Structure 1
Amino acid sequence: MHKFKYYLLLLSLLIARNIKAQQAKHTFALADSVFLLDGKPFQMISGEMHYPRIPREAWRARMKMAKAMGLNTIGTYVFWNLHEPQKGKFDFSGNNDIAEFVKIAQQEGLWVILRPSPYVCAEWEFGGYPYWLQKEKGLVVRSKEAQYLKEYETYIKQVGKILAPLQINHGGNVLMVQIENEYGSFGSDKDYLAINQKMFKEAGFDGLLYTCDPAADLTKGYLPGLLPAVNGLDDPKKVKQLVRENHNGKGPFYIAEWYPAWFDWWGTPHHTVPAEKYAGRLDSVLAAGISINMYMFHGGTTRDFMNGANYKDGTPYEPQISSYDYDAPLDEAGNPTPKFIAFRNVIQKHLAPGVALPAVPAAKPAMAIPAVKLTAAVSILQNLPKPVSSTTPLTFEDLQQDYGYVLYRTQVKGNGKLTIKGLRDYAVVLVNGKTAGTLDRRLNQDSLNLTLPKGSVTLDILVENLGRINFGKYLLQNKKGITGSVMFNNSELKGWQMYSLPMANINQVKFGSTGVNYTSPTLQKGTFNLSKVEDTYFNMSDWGKGVVWINGHNLGRYWRVGPQQTLYVPAEWLKKGRNELVVFDMIKPGNTIVSVDKPILDQVKQ
């Protein structure tokens, strides 16, 4: 008994000592050309990965992979629309627990670069802004407009309560905090940037603050007195020259976003960049003593309707796909790629003599499960909530709806041309409950010729929010749904009923039996049993367009246009025994789901 008590006391002391060591205060400062960690030169070798794009259960495993590639730091944005989805209602739980993400990094011996700017871009819905900002009268994001600054201040103070204590000068592992994000690509108001700095300090971020901008816009986006980091430039000489020109002739030098590849959007080829194209560039940057943050080290998956979109004058609307694989060193499932190995070999060269990297953890196993038969189904028209009535169509924002779908219903007579002005973003048009056609904002489609039965018929328009724009001036014009009038034979249709279908809780859907030949958008459900759990990929290439849920988790969108044809299913969200699968398809419902053990991210279809 005495021995047991002794060992228990010893264990308690070791745990306490370990916790104290983790919480020991360090210093992090700027010298003329290098960063100083505890007074000694420190080169950040960082990689970006975003907590909501990775299942919480896998955060630690991804960080172990980061260490194995040679990273000493992790970069992440903080996403306002996740943490304040409705005005005044904050959520830092579950996969939104950013503080736990940072603490796990510390436990794994990693530093963190924190990017809690209200605007993040990130190929993320509305660039990270919550949809409800558009309901506030007169509010203008990324400006000195009073209402915006008020909401911004409320949010950043909530973030500060949780994350400011994790800064390095308070015993945490957050080295630096970024204000705004690539502001120089949007504006040049230094007073606005100074307000950002003031808010961050008042929220408790009293350590090192910095700005980051693409090279061409850095002069507009940096704030005198803060370190100007550069994005998208990896010529050591040019990086150093640009930073010195804007920082009193001094460094340190930090590439805040170094791109080893790129993201994808629907209907265009998958982007890949060979590892050999960038391994040499990484070598030259590290040899020059420049700190770096790879965007992305690990992309993961953009789920829950949270993908963004790009749009600028003269180009199509470009909604991004659900996979955020990014052709990154760590793939969508968290496995090392040839790029990972190539970069690891480069980083190893620049470590201190005698320092060896950890062994690379084994790749996660993946499996193809037997085909899943969907045994219950219901038309979306049979699952409508109570409608809101209005003379003219209301937007998502008018309906206080963030994401998903809205069904617009009215009555029409005769034959003719249907025109939807301001469609955002994709519509299925139904006549008396049967699909008559589709309209796609990407293709500038806004009209459809309809031949209708005699008498008054029911016209339904199911509209999908395909992702709010996340970059550029059109951030300010981001409402969803039908944002203009609907014309039929040159006459405006009035007298609308609108049904909100955010599909945030799929468990509320009431299913019936299958066997019905549905001619409208359809929800279907099936179950399957597993004796083991491993990653898998649902192959949706024979389906049309929709969303899949596994055990209540939204896996993201699929769309036959590609390039993404599979949806990644993390092992962490599967169960031994019974699993439940739900599919919503807008245009081509099937009745069987097939899975494969490898992703298909490179097949574009017409």
Structure 2
Amino acid sequence: MKYSKPLQAVLLALAMTATLATAAAPAVRAPHFAIDGAQFKLDGKPYIIRSGEMHYLRVPRAAWRERLRMARAMGLNTVTTYAFWSQHEPEPGQWDFSGQNDLRAFIKTAAEEGLNVVLRPGPYVCAEVDFGGFPAWLLRTPGLRVRSMDTRYLEASTRYFQRLAKEVGDLQSSRGGPILMLQIENEYGSFGRDHDYLRAVRAQLRKAGFDAPLFTSDGGAGRLFEGGTLADVPAVVNFGGGMDDAKGSIEELAAWRKQGPRMAGEYWAGWFDHWGEQHHRQSAEEAARTVDWMLSQGVSFNLYMFHGGTSFGWLAGANSSGTEPYMPDTTSYDYDAALDEAGRPTPKYLALREVIGKHVKEALPPVPSAPQPRAVPAFALKPAGGLLPQLETLSHARPSRWVRAMEEFGQNYGYILYRKRLDAPAKGSLVLEGLHDQATIFADGRVIGRMDRRRGESKLAVDLPAGAQIDLLVEAMGRIGFGPRLVDDNKGITRAVKLNEDELEGWTVYPLPMDAAALKRLPAAAGDPAAPGFWRGTLQLDKPVDTFLDTRGWGKGQVWVNGHHLGRFWEIGPQQTLYLPGSWLKEGGNEVLVFTTEQPTTTTMQGLADPVFDTPKPR
């Protein structure tokens, strides 16, 4: 067909306009990070995630950069962390993303050190922390059930995600940031099978503004995949052991999800400890062989843990199983990880670095100089007042007809004391129903017995006169954080106190959270060294150094240094030291405050260059 010259000119002009418009239109850019079938892609290129888990709460903020730099030098390209709701919203509507809780700063520091980030925002995280990372104040609402479609719970978790997104939403890969992807909940298949709940969590994340790729993570068994995954969300698998375990778990994942990335969301390259158990170890050779196999197969991985650190303060949680009703976790979260509790490379670190180096094209950065914890000379501690004489200083009395759980008094952590003066003689069995977790029983100020939930203890034979004062000091040793029993692990005495079959009424209750404000009110007073109470001392230093406080001989209790709560110690082991970061110390005098519930056999402490994990003592 022929056109007239005028028409040809018009058509040519139109063609030129279309060409110019096409040239001017911006090219469609591939997302910074994407999940494409069985591959991860970063800037359009296949990407193997070589990740290690490290929790900002468990590492002193001053050490974040050096520990992250160690991760990069081992050959990792990513760091994974949970976000901890319990620490960011300690009370309803009160938010804390400062200091040690500054998740944004942690993520940005990782990026500065050449590491991407996988964020696991919860709302449930497990992580061997109290209540699995849920804030304890959720337990103040009678009947509220976490990890469910309970509207009261979902309203609270919605608020949490919205606030979290304000902190780190702009750091997602969907906006060019280092957060590659986010996990929906955590190992939900080990808890339930309510897919409506998982979809609700996903919807909460999306509505809050989390628009990066999402994934789920569960143990490697069909039942767990069935309960914990969503058909349209990529899934990864968690496992421990050696190379054969890795093969089996990845095969199970591939059989369950024909399309999708092959990744160990958690490869347990170590394990955590309970009080009264052996310290766990896993050989460096086994971990290295397993990582070698994963890299040879193009399988992405996350080492759980790369650096475990310490569950400072009241952070440590507990576990429960059919045979062991209650197993509290130690303060140390060393985890037999590649970096030890103080951040030093271990033989496992060097073995993993060698293996990773074989599989990457680029030269690994040199290993930075390691921290050097030091021994410090013994220093004296002196009695600083028994607990009972200082109750009014540390707490405010609350009358209560019945004993009740500490959460009902607005308390989240610590100790709680129930006091009653007997109206009549008491002879027979004193029964503490629902003891959570350990009780010291006083009669007229004298210790007459102890009960331990770990051993199922709940009764004490008594023969007391009318008018005697009984005090029940109960220590919360960490809420259960995994399994069905986590939903209602309230603390204190959760049901009743009885004398034989008769429930005792008329109590005065003293919540003892042992927070900074209360401890500052403690007077400088002498005390009975045999009674539960406080001890003070001064650690003199020429310069601040990392060290491990030797707590052997001190029974059971807590330590604060310059106001920093190091955590719990207990002579039953295996942990016999508390990590003390040099960044929490100063030149000159450093105040050490110890609270004990058992009479110590020494009056000094010293710092050691290395931690002590000994054979547990049965109790």
Q: Which residue in the other structure is 1:27 paired with?
A: 32
Q: Which residue in the other structure is 2:377 paired with?
A: 370
Flag the 1:586–1:256 CA change in 2: closer, same or farther, 3 A: same
Q: Which residue in the other structure is 1:297 paired with?
A: 306
Q: Which residue in the other structure is 1:420 paired with?
A: 432
Question: Superposed, which structure 2 residues align to 1:45-60 within 5 Å?
Answer: 45-60=50-65
> What SS does structure 2 have at the residue aligned with 1:398?
helix
Q: Which runs of 5 or more residues in structure 2 are unaligned?
A: 1-28
Question: Superposed, which structure 2 residues align to 1:181-330 within 5 Å?
Answer: 181-216=186-221, 217-232=224-239, 235=244, 237-247=247-257, 249-330=258-339
Q: Which residue in the other structure is 2:401 paired with?
A: 391
Counterpart-to-counterpart distance in 2, 1:456 and 1:130: 40
Kept in 1, the 8 Å contact 2:562–2:585? The answer is yes
Kept in 2, the 8 Å contact 1:383–1:509? The answer is no
Match status 1:533 vs 2:548: no
1:419-445 C-alpha deviation (Å, 9 max, x unpaired): 111100001001111111111000111
Match status 1:410 vs 2:415: no
> What SS does structure 2 have at the residue aligned with 1:483?
strand
Kept in 1, the 8 Å contact 2:172–2:178? The answer is yes
> What SS does structure 2 have at the residue aligned with 1:180?
coil
Kept in 2, the 8 Å contact 1:435–1:519? The answer is no
Q: Which residue in the other structure is 1:77 paired with?
A: 82
Counterpart-to-counterpart distance in 2, 1:30 and 1:277: 30
Match status 1:162 vs 2:162: no
Structure 1 residue 313, shift from structure 2 partner:
3.0
Counterpart-to-counterpart distance in 2, 1:269 and 1:535: 25
Match status 1:67 vs 2:76: no
Q: Which residue in the other structure is 1:143 paired with?
A: 148
> What SS does structure 2 have at the residue aligned with 1:252?
coil
Counterpart-to-counterpart distance in 2, 1:423 and 1:605: 23
Bigger shift: residues 487-496 or 330-339: 487-496
Aligned match for 1:571, one of 573, 576, 582 = 582
Give the structure-2-normalised TM-score: 0.91
Counterpart-to-counterpart distance in 2, 1:315 and 1:414: 32
- What is the identity, as a one-letter code, of the residue corresponding to 1:326? Y
Counterpart-to-counterpart distance in 1, 2:326 and 2:382: 37
Structure 1 residue 25, shift from structure 2 partner:
10
Structure 1 residue 482, shift from structure 2 partner:
0.5
Q: Which residue in the other structure is 2:389 paired with?
A: 382
Q: Which residue in the other structure is 1:440 paired with?
A: 452
Counterpart-to-counterpart distance in 1, 2:247 and 2:220: 13
Kept in 2, the 8 Å contact 1:69–1:340? The answer is yes
Counterpart-to-counterpart distance in 2, 1:465 and 1:172: 40
1:14-35 C-alpha deviation (Å, 9 max, x unpaired): xxxxxxxxxx996111222221
Counterpart-to-counterpart distance in 1, 2:111 and 2:30: 13
- What is the identity, as a one-letter code, of the residue corresponding to 2:367? V
- What is the identity, as a one-letter code, of the residue corresponding to 2:279? H
Flag the 1:337–1:343 CA change in 2: closer, same or farther, 3 A: same
Q: How many residues are matched? A: 578
Q: Which residue in the other structure is 2:181 paired with?
A: 176
Bigger shift: residues 582-591 or 426-435: 582-591
Q: Which residue in the other structure is 1:584 paired with?
A: 595
1:361-414 C-alpha deviation (Å, 9 max, x unpaired): 222112221211124511111221221111110211110100000011001234
Q: Which residue in the other structure is 2:350 paired with?
A: 341
Counterpart-to-counterpart distance in 2, 1:36 and 1:577: 52
> What SS does structure 2 have at the residue aligned with 1:295?
strand
Q: Which residue in the other structure is 2:568 paired with?
A: 557
Flag the 1:566–1:69 CA change in 2: closer, same or farther, 3 A: same
1:458-477 C-alpha deviation (Å, 9 max, x unpaired): 10010000110001111122
Structure 1 residue 342, shift from structure 2 partner:
0.5
Counterpart-to-counterpart distance in 1, 2:108 and 2:149: 34
Q: Which residue in the other structure is 1:14 paired with?
A: none
1:531-575 C-alpha deviation (Å, 9 max, x unpaired): 122111111111111000111000010001110010011111111
Kept in 2, the 8 Å contact 1:376–1:512? The answer is no
Counterpart-to-counterpart distance in 2, 1:529 and 1:36: 53
Counterpart-to-counterpart distance in 2, 1:150 and 1:529: 50
Q: Which residue in the other structure is 1:103 paired with?
A: 108
> What SS does structure 1 have at the residue aligned with 2:406?
coil
1:81-111 C-alpha deviation (Å, 9 max, x unpaired): 0011111111111101101100000111100
Q: Which residue in the other structure is 2:473 paired with?
A: 462
Kept in 2, the 8 Å contact 1:434–1:519? The answer is no
Kept in 2, the 8 Å contact 1:433–1:519? The answer is no
Counterpart-to-counterpart distance in 1, 2:449 and 2:54: 40
- What is the identity, as a one-letter code, of the residue corresponding to 2:501? N
Kept in 2, the 8 Å contact 1:374–1:527? The answer is yes
Counterpart-to-counterpart distance in 2, 1:472 and 1:414: 39
Counterpart-to-counterpart distance in 1, 2:586 and 2:416: 33
Kept in 1, the 8 Å contact 2:32–2:176? The answer is no
CA root-mean-square deviation: 1.6
Kept in 1, the 8 Å contact 2:237–2:250? The answer is no
Structure 1 residue 517, shift from structure 2 partner:
3.1
Kept in 1, the 8 Å contact 2:118–2:182? The answer is yes
Kept in 2, the 8 Å contact 1:78–1:116? The answer is yes
Give the structure-1-normalised TM-score: 0.93
Kept in 1, the 8 Å contact 2:437–2:452? The answer is yes
**Structure 1 outlier segments of 4+, above 6 Å:** none
1:189-237 C-alpha deviation (Å, 9 max, x unpaired): 2221111111111111111000000011122211111110111066565
Counterpart-to-counterpart distance in 2, 1:470 and 1:75: 20
> What SS does structure 2 have at the residue aligned with 1:415?
strand
Structure 1 residue 240, shift from structure 2 partner:
4.6
Counterpart-to-counterpart distance in 2, 1:377 and 1:172: 51
Structure 1 residue 513, shift from structure 2 partner:
4.1
1:213-267 C-alpha deviation (Å, 9 max, x unpaired): 00111222111111101110665654454334443x2232111000111000000
Q: Which residue in the other structure is 2:3 paired with?
A: none
Kept in 2, the 8 Å contact 1:405–1:500? The answer is yes
Aligned match for 1:332, one of 317, 326, 341 = 341
Counterpart-to-counterpart distance in 2, 1:425 and 1:467: 8
Counterpart-to-counterpart distance in 1, 2:521 and 2:380: 18
Counterpart-to-counterpart distance in 1, 2:118 and 2:449: 48
Counterpart-to-counterpart distance in 1, 2:111 and 2:430: 58
Aligned match for 1:153, one of 149, 158, 162 = 158
Structure 1 residue 455, shift from structure 2 partner:
3.9
